[in-house]
Structure 1
Amino acid sequence: MGGGKSKRMPRAVREQQMLDAAVQTFARRGYRAASMDDIAELAGVSKPLVYLYLNSKEELFTACIRREAQALVAAVRAAVERDVPADRQLWSGLRGLFAYTAANPDGWAVLHSQARTQGEPFVREVAVMRAELVSFVEQLIGAAAKEADCDPEFADREVAGLAYALVGAAESMADWAGSPGGPSAKEAAATLMNFAWAGLGNLMRDQRWTPST
Structure 2
Amino acid sequence: MLDAAVRTFGRRGYRAASMEEIAELAGVSKPLVYLYLHSKEELFSACIRREAAALTAAVRAGAGAPGPGVPVERRLWEGLTAFFAHTADHPDGWAVLHRQARTHGEPFAAEVAALREEIVAYVTSLIGAAAREVHRDPGLADGDVAGLAHALVGAAESLADWANATPGVDAREAAATLMRLAWSGLGDLARGEGWSPGAV
Assess same fold via TM > 0.5: yes
User: Measured at CA, do residues 211 and 110 of structure 1 come closer, stay the same or move farther in structure 2, by a change above 3 Å?
Assistant: farther
Per-residue deviation, 1:36: 0.5
Give the aligned residue type for 1:37.
E
Where structure 1 has 5 or more consecutive residues not aligned to the other structure, the ranges are 1-17
Residue 132 of structure 2 corresponds to 146
Identity over aligned pairs, percent: 66
User: Measured at CA, do residues 80 and 206 of structure 1 come closer, stay the same or move farther in structure 2, by a change above 3 Å?
Assistant: closer
* Alignment partner of 1:96 is 2:51: no
* Alignment partner of 1:35 is 2:22: no
Residue 194 of structure 2 corresponds to 207
Q: How does the TM-score come out when normalised to structure 2?
A: 0.90
Residue pairs, 1:24-63, within 5 angstroms: 24-63=7-46
Residues 23, 110 of structure 1: 8 Å contact kept: yes
Residues 81, 88 of structure 1: 8 Å contact kept: no
Match of 1:72 among 52, 55, 76: 55
Per-residue deviation, 1:199: 1.2
Distance in 1 separating the partners of 2:193 and 2:163: 32
Give the aligned residue type for 2:100.
Q
Per-residue deviation, 1:183: 2.1
Per-residue deviation, 1:76: 0.7
Residue 161 of structure 2 corresponds to 175
User: Measured at CA, do residues 211 and 62 of structure 1 come closer, stay the same or move farther in structure 2, by a change above 3 Å?
Assistant: farther
Distance in 2 separating the partners of 1:27 and 1:124: 18
| Higher alpha-carbon Rg | 1
Residues 86, 140 of structure 1: 8 Å contact kept: yes
Q: How does the TM-score come out when normalised to structure 1?
A: 0.85
Distance in 1 separating the partners of 2:184 and 2:141: 17
Please say which of residues 149-158 and 71-80 is displaced more in the overlay: 149-158
Per-residue deviation, 1:156: 5.0
Distance in 2 separating the partners of 1:174 and 1:46: 35
Q: CA RMSD in A?
A: 2.0
- Count of residues in Structure 1 that have an aligned counterpart in Structure 2: 196
Distance in 2 separating the partners of 1:79 and 1:104: 16
Please say which of residues 96-105 and 148-157 is displaced more in the overlay: 148-157
Give CA deviations for 1:183-204 in whole Å, capped at 9, x if unaligned. 2211211211111121123345
Give CA deviations for 1:168-189 in whole Å, capped at 9, x if unaligned. 1111111122224242211211
